[in-house]
Structure 1
Amino acid sequence: MNEKQLEVFAELAAWRSFSKTAHKLGISQSTVTKQLKSLEQELGSRLINRQTAALTEEGELVYEKAIEWLKEWRDLRKLCQKRGEKYTQTLRIGASTTPGTYFLPSICKECHNQFPHLRLNLYIDDSNNVLTLLSENKIDIAVVGTKSSSATIDMYPLWKDRLAVIGPPEADDDPVTHFSDLQSFSFVKRKQGSGTYQAVEIALSSWRGSLPELETAAVVPNTESLLSLVEAGIGYGFISELALPSAKARGCVFKGFLPYNRDFYIACSKSAQEMETAAAFKNAAEIWKTVYRKT
């Protein structure tokens, strides 16, 4: 029994006509008869009444299974073809700078391992700009540290992050526990559109303070720039816990965590929800989260 036999039988059962079945499949009526006879011989049962082209009782049973098997076979062929293709689909991914630097590469690797045919286009910017790109359908999916209120964007919590206070290599390691502990320092700050800036503002408010009240030594676009300036002794800084190993490797001093845990989100436009590629990315992100928690 093969796919061609089942396909001919299924069409014949649907059309109840040898001539219409032959026309639909682009084959001769004799080929239709031959395929049907071969299937009947293999199963040991008459499946179609030759006079009326109606299904026999056995034919009804075989028809039901044939439809299921044909669908499964076509789905399997489609899946195998996709696995064998290279770069035939594109997923446009946006990320704010912290996830874009510290865990998006791992998610992309997992996504590529599962779907090697997938081409990834990456856009790294602050959270507000990335969400704007998403709302304008210029990207399909994103990882950001700010929650969107847009009705066209769905948000899925991915990771809870703590915000660390770091000082230059010559700083002491006395922990900061109050806003007053920070007021004697100058800071290398992230720009206002970043998720880190907004999260630090929320954290400091619980200490009855704010970022504008702290002296500004420099404003930078990303965490790596901030680490370089703190390492050089320009000032103190606030960073994601994910960046803490890198900060310590540069000789920066860990001063403690702010009293606030922020969320990183997967953001997906509603128009991209049904995309197989977007689903693959979300699945890869969940795998990354599971693996990272074990490390």
Structure 2
Amino acid sequence: MTLRHMKIFVSVYQNSSITKAAKELHLAQPSVSVTIKELEEYYGQHFFERIGRRIYPTAAAKEFYGYAVHIVSMFEAMEKELKNGDEIETIRVGASITIGTHILPSLMKEFQEQFPEIRMEAVVNQSGTIERLLLENEIDLGLIENQPSSDSVCAVPFLEDSLVAIVPAEHPLAGKCDVILREMAENPFLMREKGSAGREILDACFDMEQITVHPAWESSSTQAIVQGVAKGLGVAVLPYLLVKRDLEQGLVCQAFLRRPIERKLNIIYHKSKYITRSMQTFVSMCLDYRTHQTKEEQHDGRDKDPDPDSRS
């Protein structure tokens, strides 16, 4: 069992093909096949099933891949750092759409201002996609809106957010307090697409209340939903961070739910991932984000107060 075995296995797993893996690694196809056979004999496990012209990983292969891809990555990072110490370090961050829209840009700007010598790459997508990219070692750290589903992923809460109910400005529920989900569900519902973190949480709330909702709209665009609500096409429940500005501008109005829908935003990383000092610094910056935001809000409040002496 060597690092070479792991590198070949990772390539075969990612390509779902021994032929493609051999071409990628510049090896003879029989050599790749022998290596996989040696691995299977070593662990006493069957790693791939051949169906037609493709091969498919078994449950054992999926478990082994979770370790192998990060062990290979850790070795390559060590080689790069020791042999090419002057190369630019890169941190790959993934974020869900809400976080990627409203939080990640500020975090990345602050980090780059402090560490201009470190290159940062970002991917913004659904929380489920971000978790998958983390498992496949396509990113180093993730910022998502729900709890990860894989036991191989560790999560650290760094911020709290809520889902809020929005309605058209002239709607009977506009500004009303103590609204229940069933009242909202009596209206045409505009919802995020299935698979998004916000949709999963909302669906779970409907299930708990035994409410059946057939969306009038489904969209991956929050702004499309907000515009639909503003035009009177229905109601919606969306992350507060995404609709805060629209509420402040009066484009839509909030209906205040009796039971607020709150959630924790999480920093995620693979349990087998080697976290560099730069990554640790970025994580610390994320954990400090709430404190910074509170200070900024307090500062903005002082700026807007026309008569500071009138405060009681």
1:180 to 2:193 alignment: no
- The CA distance in 1 between the partners of 2:222 and 2:116, in whole Å, is 30
With over 3 angstroms needed to count, the CA separation of the structure-2 counterparts of 1:152 and 1:264, relative to structure 1, is same
With over 3 angstroms needed to count, the CA separation of the structure-2 counterparts of 1:250 and 1:118, relative to structure 1, is farther
Other-structure match for 2:226? 227
With over 3 angstroms needed to count, the CA separation of the structure-2 counterparts of 1:283 and 1:98, relative to structure 1, is same
Q: Is the 8 A contact 1:169 1:253 kept in 2?
A: yes
Q: Is the 8 A contact 1:145 1:263 kept in 2?
A: yes
Q: Which has the larger radius of gyration?
A: 1
Q: Is the 8 A contact 1:179 1:209 kept in 2?
A: no
The 5 A counterparts of 1:121-160 are 121-160=121-160
For residue 105 of structure 1, give the secondary structure of its aligned residue in structure 2.
helix
For residue 268 of structure 1, give the secondary structure of its aligned residue in structure 2.
strand
For residue 108 of structure 1, give the secondary structure of its aligned residue in structure 2.
helix
1:201 to 2:203 alignment: yes
The CA deviation at 1:135 is 0.6
- The CA distance in 1 between the partners of 2:207 and 2:170, in whole Å, is 28
- The CA distance in 1 between the partners of 2:178 and 2:126, in whole Å, is 27
Alpha-carbon deviations, 1:216-275, whole Å to 9, x = none? 121111423322322233321111122342221251011114533111100112344422
With over 3 angstroms needed to count, the CA separation of the structure-2 counterparts of 1:209 and 1:179, relative to structure 1, is farther
- The CA distance in 1 between the partners of 2:219 and 2:199, in whole Å, is 11
Q: Is the 8 A contact 1:98 1:223 kept in 2?
A: no
Q: Is the 8 A contact 1:95 1:144 kept in 2?
A: yes
The CA deviation at 1:156 is 0.3
The CA deviation at 1:278 is 1.7
Deviates more, 1:194-203 or 1:132-141: 194-203
Deviates more, 1:179-188 or 1:127-136: 179-188
For residue 179 of structure 2, give the secondary structure of its aligned residue in structure 1.
coil
Deviates more, 1:166-175 or 1:262-271: 166-175
1:239 to 2:238 alignment: yes
With over 3 angstroms needed to count, the CA separation of the structure-2 counterparts of 1:256 and 1:273, relative to structure 1, is farther
| Identical-residue share of aligned pairs (%) | 24
**Greater than 6 Å deviation, 4+ residue runs:** none
The CA deviation at 1:176 is 5.4
Return the TM-score normalized by structure 2: 0.61
Other-structure match for 2:41? none
Amino acid paired to 2:227: S
Alpha-carbon deviations, 1:16-47, whole Å to 9, x = none? xxxxxxxxxxxxxxxxxxxxxxxxxxxxxxxx
1:252 to 2:256 alignment: no
Alpha-carbon deviations, 1:88-110, whole Å to 9, x = none? 22211111111111111111122
Alpha-carbon deviations, 1:60-101, whole Å to 9, x = none? xxxxxxxxxxxxxxxxxxxxxx9xx9x922211111111111
Amino acid paired to 1:110: E
The CA deviation at 1:205 is 4.0
Q: Is the 8 A contact 2:94 2:130 kept in 1?
A: yes
Amino acid paired to 2:284: N
- The CA distance in 1 between the partners of 2:91 and 2:227, in whole Å, is 32
With over 3 angstroms needed to count, the CA separation of the structure-2 counterparts of 1:118 and 1:181, relative to structure 1, is same
Q: Cα RMSD over matched residues?
A: 2.4
For residue 88 of structure 1, give the secondary structure of its aligned residue in structure 2.
coil
Other-structure match for 1:166? 166
Alpha-carbon deviations, 1:136-168, whole Å to 9, x = none? 111111110121142332110111211100012
- The CA distance in 2 between the partners of 1:169 and 1:177, in whole Å, is 16
Q: Is the 8 A contact 1:160 1:263 kept in 2?
A: yes
Name which of 191, 194, 197 aligns with 1:192: 194
For residue 233 of structure 1, give the secondary structure of its aligned residue in structure 2.
coil
Other-structure match for 1:291? 292
Q: Is the 8 A contact 1:185 1:214 kept in 2?
A: no
For residue 138 of structure 1, give the secondary structure of its aligned residue in structure 2.
coil
Q: Is the 8 A contact 1:97 1:222 kept in 2?
A: no
Q: Is the 8 A contact 2:164 2:260 kept in 1?
A: no
- The CA distance in 1 between the partners of 2:182 and 2:90, in whole Å, is 50
Alignment size in residue pairs:
209
